[in-house]
Chains A and B, each alone.
Chain A
Amino acid sequence: MRPLTLSRLLVHCAILGAILFAVVVVALKLGAVPVSLYGLVRDLIRVALGQASQLSSEHQLIVFNIRLPRIFLSIFVGASLSVAGASFQALLRNPLADPYVLGISSGASVGAILALIIEPHLALAPAVAALFTPVGAFLGAALTVTAVYFLGRREGQIDSSTLLLAGIISASFLSAIIQFFMATLSGGNYHGMAYWMMGELSTPQQPIVSWILRVGFFIAAGAIYTTAADLNLLLAGEKEAMHLGVDIRRVRIVVYIAASLLTGLAVSVSGAIGYVGLLVPHVMRILFGSDHRILLPTAAFGGAIALVIADTLARTVVSPSELPVGAVTAVAGAPLFLYLLRRRLA
């Protein structure tokens, strides 16, 4: 009998944090343009000391203006998707749930396509134009989340199976709309949209976007974490959870909104990167157990690590070309999924 304690949680998080740090350093080093480890460490120290102006500007631009923001994007998108995936698996009582099962990515895609179609007709300042697609995607996601919530209620409360059905139907409906719009897009836009939907992290985001992503992650993930113990009980049985003092209605709403927020933010900046939200929670369960008080933080770290690795592969494997990171996660994720499936059945 080894119950979870705070020190165990912190130790595991520290280990994962160290792994994440190492992965980030390696990712900073790799890329289409070679960077020496020595030069990298030297520059990192300089930045930390506030001597950013002394960096060689080309180095600075590539490493700090392109790679580092991209790595931070990967970290937060990966963490958001994993936490959202674990939360939806608990909320929907379904191990196959991923962040997109309720149609959020489809809604975001519709929003992004509409933004893409509308944007040329509006005379926007360049900075605003770059924001148009993420904002459009987020609005699409938010509307979908709201619609699915109202469709997924039963007797005024969120019901797991009704919610799942509502989500799947919405996703399917929205996919049809996406197909329709895609057929009307012109060449360049079509390719761009196809790329976006595969999930890619190569576009540098405006600072405000990445700031919102980070703040949103901490708020939403924090909110979900406060319900972590309740989620443990919910998964053991809904009726029993109620008798054990869980306010089921409140927990469901909080998790639904927070997990949708995490997914919506992630999808708005990176498209629909698959498999991370589905598989990282399962891997973390195998390593650390199903207690959500340790599962959620480790899933966040695990997702960050996985996506940084995937994105680094995406931009180095066919250098100087880049693969969309969603393709890398799919290629790696599908076999892993099969393996996990067999392991459960064995």
Chain B
Amino acid sequence: MSSSARIPASGALRAVAESFPNTDVRLSVEQVSYAYSANPTQAPLFTLEATSFQARPGEIVAIVGPNACGKSTLLKLIAGALAPLSGRVLLNGFVTHALPPRERGQRIAMVQQESPLLFPSRAWEFVLQGRHPYSRKLRFESHDDVLIARNALAQVGAEHLSDRWMDQISGGEKQRVILARALTQQPLLLLLDVGAQVDLLETLRKLAAANRYTVVVVTHELNLAGQYADQVALFQKGKCLRVGPPSAVFQRELLEQVFQTPLTVELTSSGRPRVIVPSAK
């Protein structure tokens, strides 16, 4: 096992999974389905049909689709917060839902729409919370924990926000701080369910490459997915229509059917597809 406590001077975070072989599949979603009904006797209000895909270390998977098609639910299933109706989610061979909360917190980090803070704290306090899965009872954060937190802020470019109050920074800045907290968990898997902004995905790509994270991001921005993701999973009404590299998924007929609007797909100079929706009259 590598010594994760030795922080290189460059500040790059080393995910603990450094020790695992790179080429192995890290995340395996196997025939995962889900159903939710308000009443046990009634028909389900919502269903997620069996979905499968895999992801490797360093890869970014984007889950796209119109509203209420099950994207967020899938993310929760991957995170192990929900138990699938059938199938399973494996992370390095562990079923995510079966992991105890502490273990799960050390492997999976979730970045979501943040609830309003009741008693505002400073950014560094907030980020330091990411070390919680590693702390033992009745102990305070160690010097190493502090260093890891500081480096996390640096990695997301938010070091200057360290002493600011969380309720006094902008939305974009807050998102960076939240991401920094996720990084301090030293996870294998990064899950994001945010609106997704350009610079955030840019940062994510760098981080995923540098620290070998597997990233699954839910977004409604097709072009961001097309530009940054290694794989795209396209959903409609709880059904996964296609999973694959962006060029495979961004097919005009398919997208027009899903999003119910005429559009065109073209290739950018980097070889990635881009979707253009003609402006409404």
Contacts and interface: CB of A to CB of B under 8 A. Distances in A.
Interface of A: 1, 3-6, 9, 93-95, 225-226, 229-230, 232-233, 235-240, 242-247, 285, 289-291, 293
B110 interface: yes
Interface in B130-146: 130, 132-133, 135, 137-138, 140-141, 145-146
Interface stretch (B55-63, B101-109, B214-222, B239-247): B101-109
B101 A242 contact: yes
A337 B30 CA distance: 56
Given A93-B118, A245-B105, 15 more contacts: A1-B124, A1-B150, A4-B140, A4-B141, A6-B140, A232-B129, A236-B121, A237-B114, A237-B115, A237-B117, A239-B112, A242-B101, A243-B104, A246-B101, A285-B119
A1 B118 contact: no
Contacts of A6: 140
Contacts of B133: 244-245
B257 to A, nearest CB: 33
B16 to A, nearest CB: 15
Given A226-B138, A247-B101, A95 B114 contact: no
Nearest to A232: B129
Nearest to A249: B101
Give the contact-size bracket for chain B: 35 or more
B126 A244 contact: no
A9 B141 CA distance: 13
Interface string B210-246: 0000000000000000000000000000000000000
B128 interface: yes
A238 B114 CA distance: 10
Contact of A95 (B115, B119, B124, B126): B119
Contacts of B138: 225-226
Which residue, A225, A232, A289, has most C-beta atoms of chain B within 10 A?
A: A232
B256 interface: no
A95 B150 contact: no
Which residue, A1, A3, A233, A243, has most C-beta atoms of chain B within 10 A?
A: A243
Contacts of A93: 118
Interface of B: 79, 81, 101-106, 108-110, 112, 114-115, 117-121, 124-126, 128-130, 132-133, 135, 137-138, 140-141, 145-146, 149-150, 162-163, 185
10 contacts: A1-B150, A1-B163, A233-B132, A236-B126, A237-B117, A242-B81, A243-B105, A244-B132, A244-B133, A291-B121
A290 B137 CA distance: 18
B72 to A, nearest CB: 11
A292 to B, nearest CB: 10
Given A3-B146, A235-B117, A243-B109, A291 B125 contact: yes
B144 to A, nearest CB: 11
Contacts of A9: 140
Contacts of B117: 235-237
A157 to B, nearest CB: 14
